[in-house]
Structure 1
Amino acid sequence: MNQRFLLATAMISATLVAIGLLAVDIPLAHWIHASGHENAAPFVVGLATLDGVVGIHISYWLASVVCVALGLAGLALAQRSRLPRALAIAILCAGIVQAATIGTMMLGKNVFGRLRPQQLFESGDWSAIWFSAGGSFPSGHASFYFGLFLPLAASAPRTWQRVGLILVPIFVALARIDMSRHFLSDVASSALVASAWSLLMVAAIRRWRPVQ
């Protein structure tokens, strides 16, 4: 995986988390809610299509299990065929990083209990956003997609492939904000967590490979 790409993603994500928490989260949520662009069809339909393809509604863990299984099978077959070993490693890493990111996300939701913008608009009470048994921070959807696609993007050999892959979770993050399911810092924190786990995976691979 490209370490510079992951570091850049981590820095951008951390910056967005800070900006969101300090200044942008609530004003942005109010602007979207009042603009008439909330639940825009391209985001709603696009996200529903992606969710159906990856099976997120079947299980948050489905894609992780499939990727780990495919990655391990690919590594085994790579020893006897022309299957690219790098591809198998990338798929395996994506499964592991996604599982770790989802696990971290679930812990964060339980710890912080942040209410979603949609819940706050419905209640009209913005006095208690955190530690209120909510599930907004970090974003589950963003964790799922950044955890899966960020390692794949960082492993892609060509720039256009990297851009295409990373645009998928970015689209998901924008969709969740537009649908008032999450604040900016919710989705950015998911990207930051995925970046951190991906960087740890890079360190593990560099330590493991010389032994092989």
Structure 2
Amino acid sequence: MVAELQGIGMTSRRTRMRLIQRLRESGIQDERVLTALAEIPRHIFLDEALSHRAYEDTALPIGYQQTLSQPYIVARMTEVLMEHNPSRVLELGTGSGYQTAVLAQLVDEVFSVERINPLLNKARERMRTLHLRNTSLRLAGDVMGWPENAPFDGILVTAAPASMPEDLLPQLAEGGVMVAPIGETTQVLTKVIRRGDDYEITELEPVRFVPLLSGVVR
């Protein structure tokens, strides 16, 4: 578990727990997921000017036209993923590192890929601050995902591809699950389970994410 950081104080802890109660009331039921979110100080993933809004259930900007996802969406996607008890998880789109840190509380290994180098560097610093040693982060390459470390029991995509990300499917282990928002104008949170050479696809609910883009920003 993540130890309380010096200077966070009980006020922040109480504010976090109010957020957790709101997530319960919104339908999040997996206590493992709720505990993981309670352990992570969300305000350290934001610039100081926005840190006072960290425990609102809303998405917030982190620069480079990217956002820190709404806590409900982080919890919902993680809950869907954890239904299958993955051990090794690939995250596509590290962003601030908040989702990475949540996953690191729940699975053995997290591999996370980010295309914006300044965001990646900040995320690495936050993993060190939180003493999360089961995370591996890297800058995106020419191929989507992290195929040399595949297969993964779980894949979580934190930005929306316009259509099914076909390059990620072979990186799923047998029985592995991918959770991704898919679509352009209308996006749908989608669960994909690998069954041999076939994939079982379930559409879950409408969502709104920044688009999944290619090209590295240094």
Same fold per TM (> 0.5)? no
Task: Provide the TM-score with structure 2 as the length reference.
Answer: 0.29
Greater radius of gyration (CA): 1
Task: Provide the TM-score with structure 1 as the length reference.
Answer: 0.29
Higher helix share: 1
Q: Which has the higher contact order (CA 8 A, sep 6+)?
A: 1
